[in-house]
Amino acid sequence: MENNFDVIVVGGGASGLAAAVEARRAGASVLVLEKNHMPGRKILSTGAGKCNFSNRKVGPANYHGAPAAFLKKTFTALPPKKITAFFEELGLLWTEGEDGKLFPRSMKAQDVVAVLVNELASGGAQLRALTEVLSVRPAADGFEVEAQKVPPQWDKKSARGEKTVLRCSKVVLAAGGPCYPQIGGTARGAELLRGLGHDVSPQRPVIVPLKVREDFVKEMDGVRLEAALRLSSQSGDSWEARGEILFTDYGLSGPAALDLSRAAAEALAEGPLQAEADLLPDMEADELQALLAARAERFAERPFSHFAAGLHNEKVMKVCAGLAGINWQALTGQAEQEALYSFGLTLKALPMEVTGTLGFAEAMVSAGGCDTAGVDPATFASRKVKGLYITGELLDVDGDSGGYNLHFAWTSGILAGRAAAR
Ligand SMILES: Cc1cc2nc3c(=O)[nH]c(=O)nc-3n(C[C@H](O)[C@H](O)[C@H](O)COP(=O)(O)OP(=O)(O)OC[C@H]3O[C@@H](n4cnc5c(N)ncnc54)[C@H](O)[C@@H]3O)c2cc1C
């Protein structure tokens, strides 16, 4: 087997595949090493299987970690529109959803993986799956990359296979972050980078579901609704997001909760956070109370369940009625006026206590990572190790939810792949 390449890409995820495509197009011999059984496994899980691969509104303000000046240089070197052009050239049709989110037109993440892998195969790049990189060492005229055959993640019985030392002129380190270890997330890339002399800050989960103390969320498990969510910390800071929330048996997920999770993850170090969800954000509090009062008269001789039917989601109504002390089966007319008022208040501000996050196991993105001062923003070349390129989530750059993280992965991968092939 050939063991000498112009460019070795460590990690066949979003940024690694984009880097490999560009390096191969520029004429380099390319090998991608991926420890999973297939490349692009995490891409398959993105956007709930639809892959929100970019956003029409991409700009430095959507990112955290790296200074805005770094991202400005990156987006000057590869303007955001070039990402859709890159995918169009690979054969992918795409479409725009809410808030500028871009998806494959088929709404299938596997199409995104397919066009990348097809391009690599027809271009003659090599891809070795179930191959984990153990070390990357600078050597005369390039690098020595030590790799080992590994069994698939679900196979707990088979032993690891033989080790090989591969040689190359350039290395693109595209090993991603530690989120979702069940589909390949690992801190191994950060360790490799530290070994190569880069400053790497601790990685932490950021776009991550929130745990809530109250058991009533279990009764609303699976309910998705448009809400305005507000979090307040012990020290008086507060954050608000409007959008879809998803109640789960442990707490809150969905775009609005995920958007607030970055701030929540940091503030939780001080202790639990107070949360309030406005479940009818389109309606003013007075307007709602007037509506409830009129309804109370109309349904006075009927059970409260009839009063609630058609007002909002039934599971939510039951929880809010319970919190206001209203008997769901009793006649509406028997409910105290105060209890009806409190029911309205609960709908406008469902109180909860956020006690934690689900951590790396369920986080979509990690913050922290390789200090961007150590890389060139236009080529993603290491300023510390000649011939090394660092891409994607390994870097201390994390985007908001909405396609920004994959956008950065493709952008850094393309720029690194091009530069590495030079
Ligand atoms: C559930 C989920 C949903 C998401 N949805 C979206 C979304 O809709 N839009 C969006 O923009 N972002 C989304 N993200 C975030 C996005 O997937 C990541 O930011 C992006 O994939 C990072 O790209 P990357 O190339 O840095 O890393 P990855 O895509 O994670 O690729 C890294 C690859 O390197 C491999 N690897 C690691 N170490 C080694 C090693 N030592 N040897 C060999 N191989 C190795 C891994 O197995 C992996 O395949 C989501 C993430 C998750 C977990």
Write out pLDDT tens, residues 140-150: 899 999 999 99
Pick the atom of ligand 1 nearest to 134's CA: 41
**Smallest Cα–Cα separation from 402: which of 16, 103, 70?**
103
Percent of the chain with pLDDT over 90: 97
Q: Which protein residue's CA is at the shortest distance from atom 31 of ligand 1?
A: 13
- Sequence ranges of the domains in the chain: 4-205+365-421, 209-358
Looking at residue 53, its amino acid is F
Q: pLDDT band at 229, cuts 50/70/90?
A: very high
Express each pLDDT in 163-222 by its tens digit: 999 999 999 999 999 999 999 999 999 999 999 999 999 999 999 999 999 999 999 999
46, 51, 87, 182: residue to mutate for ligand 1 pocket, most atoms within 8 A of CB: 46
Q: With 80 as the cut, is the pLDDT of residue 1 above it?
A: no
Please identify, by atom number, the ligand 1 atom nearest to the C-alpha of residue 40.
49
Rounded to the nearest angstrom, the distance between the alpha carbon of 141 and the centre of ligand 1 is 30
pLDDT at 414: 99
Q: Taking residues 29-45, what's their average pLDDT?
A: 98
Q: How far is the CA of 13 from the centre of ligand 1 (A)?
A: 5
Confidence of residue 77 (pLDDT cuts 50, 70, 90): very high
Closest residue by Cα to atom 4, ligand 1, is 46
Give the pLDDT confidence score for residue 2 in this predicted structure: 80
The model's pTM is: 0.92
Among protein residues, the one whose CA lies closest to atom 45 of ligand 1: 11
Residue nearest to atom 6 of ligand 1 (CA): 46
Residue 331 reports pLDDT greater than 80: yes
The domain 4-205+365-421 belongs to what CATH superfamily? Answer: FAD/NAD(P)-binding domain (3.50.50.60)
Contacts of 302 (CB under 8 A, 6+ apart): 331, 332
Q: What is the pairing mode between strands 366-370 and 388-390?
A: unpaired
Positive or negative, the CA dihedral 407, 206, 70, 175 is negative
Are 207 and 375 spatial neighbours (Cβ–Cβ below 8 Å)? no
Q: Whose Cα sits closest to atom 35 in ligand 1?
A: 11
Residue 85 is predicted with a pLDDT of 98
Indicate the top mutation candidate among 186, 406, 412 to test ligand 1's pocket, ranked by most ligand atoms within 8 A of CB.
406
CA of residue 44 to ligand 1 center, whole Å: 10
For 111-156, what is each residue's pLDDT tens digit? 999 999 999 999 999 999 999 999 999 998 999 999 999 999 999 8
Please identify, by atom number, the ligand 1 atom nearest to the C-alpha of residue 393: 26
Closest residue by Cα to atom 5, ligand 1, is 46
Higher-scoring residue by pLDDT: 1, 246: 246
List all residues whose CB is within 6 A of at least one atom of ligand 1: 10-16, 33-36, 41-42, 45-47, 52, 132-133, 174-176, 179-180, 184, 186, 188-189, 364-365, 392-394, 403-406, 409
Digit-coded pLDDT (tens) for 287-299: 999 999 999 999 9
